[in-house]
Amino acid sequence: MSYDALKIDNQLCFPLYAASKEVIRKYKPLLDPLGLTYTQYIVMLVLWQEQKMNVKSLGEVLYLDSGTLTPLLKKLEKQGLLVRSRSKEDERNLYIEITDKGKELKDQAINIPYAIGNCLNISEEEAKTLYSILYKILK
Amino acid sequence: MSYDALKIDNQLCFPLYAASKEVIRKYKPLLDPLGLTYTQYIVMLVLWQEQKMNVKSLGEVLYLDSGTLTPLLKKLEKQGLLVRSRSKEDERNLYIEITDKGKELKDQAINIPYAIGNCLNISEEEAKTLYSILYKILK
DNA sequence: TTATATTATATTGTATATAATTAAATTGTA
DNA sequence: TACAATTTAATTATATACAATATAATATAA
């Protein structure tokens, strides 16, 4: 019986894990001026589109649970980028809503996707292929 | 000016980040019987190939720094899977070496790559494409 | 040779991640 | 209506990640 399947170079998950971390690392110098971490940034991406939503929906969109989101959202609230409030209809639901300050931050982020695209040395076509395979894995 | 580039669905990094986490999550039930986390598992993958190496080389292979590796390697040593020792020639170097118990664990891991391959719903060809694009990003 | 620079690991501080548990609110049902 | 089941967040415990700093050992240069 061969152990080849256990060689690090034969793993698919490892480059997925490593590339994810390396790309997120590239965001740091771009996000530092905005005072955001990568995870906080993707929360803001969603809020820039949705304005208001509950924590459960946010977690489903971002594949994150309340253990990650609760403290993170409290920090963003402390920074004045969003407000947290319980739903009147069903108090189990916590809604987060972007503030004006949160909306203003969007203009500072406008060039980040372009800057990241530039520092990945893959073609436009490879990027599309990667995108579609990754979403296939996520289904 | 359009904000389309800031839509969560137009990000490439996000599915990379999410897919990485989701695939690692799939490892958990397979690794629990071995008493390993995913990060500990990839360390063992390297040690099953190399037997002995220093922390710096390991970090370069796995894209991890001493802040992550130092406590993790101490845990694996406590489990008896490896031993840590300073180099006599240059005491700055810490070498880790797999133990017999560590080697024996390999047989319990032999089916993990196959099991993971089965639960990713992508074709063999897509897997190869994904692999090559990810390594292109890592260069 | 002695001061300086470099290298390798460890430590510290901050921020995720996630499983498991808890607690509060709501819903479904006998 | 009661009360069990479900839902939603929050909390707890454990394990990463990683930047920044510290420390010890070694190499290098004046």
Band (B2; pLDDT cuts 50, 70, 90): confident
pLDDT digits (tens, 9 = 90+) for A42-53: 999 999 999 999
Give backbone dihedrals phi and psi of A82, rounded to 5 degrees, phi first: -150, 165
pLDDT score at A120 = 93
Unique residue bearing structure tokens 């032999």: B110
Other Cβ atoms less than 10 A from the Cβ of B51: the count is 13
Contact B20 A20 (CB under 8 A): yes
The mean predicted confidence, pLDDT, of chain B is 96
Q: What is the mean pLDDT of residues A32-58?
A: 97
Amino acid type, A124: E
- Given a cut of 80, whether residue A16 has pLDDT beyond it is yes
A33/C3 CA-to-C1' distance in Å? 39
Q: How far is A93 from chain B (nearest CA, A)?
A: 23
Instruction: Identify from B16, B37, B62 which residue to disrupt to test chain A contact, counting A C-beta atoms within 10 A and taking the largest count.
Output: B16
pLDDT score at A3 = 87
> For residue B3, what are its two tokens?
């904000």
What residues are paired with A85 via a beta bridge? A95
Among B34, B29, B15, B13, smallest CA distance to B116 is for B29
- What length is written for chain A? 139
Q: Are A46 and A58 in contact (CB under 8 A)?
A: yes
pLDDT digits (tens, 9 = 90+) for B4-60: 999 999 999 999 999 999 999 999 999 999 999 999 999 999 999 999 999 999 999
Q: Identify the closest residue of chain A to B27 by CA–CA distance.
A: A13
Quick check: B34 contacting A, CB < 8 Å?
no
Instruction: Name the residue with the least CA to C1' distance from nucleotide D7.
Output: A92
Per-residue b or e along B12-35, where b marks 16 or more CB atoms closer than 10 Å to that residue's CB: bbbbbbbbbebbbebbeebbeebe
Band (A128; pLDDT cuts 50, 70, 90): very high
Contact A109 B45 (CB under 8 A): no
A107/D30 CA-to-C1' distance in Å? 53
pLDDT score at A2 = 73
Cβ-nearest to B137 among A23, A27, A38: A23
Contact B117 A27 (CB under 8 A): no
- Given a cut of 80, whether residue A137 has pLDDT beyond it is yes
Band (A1; pLDDT cuts 50, 70, 90): low
pLDDT digits (tens, 9 = 90+) for A63-119: 999 999 999 999 999 999 999 999 999 999 999 999 999 999 999 999 999 999 999
pLDDT score at A41 = 98
pLDDT score at A132 = 97
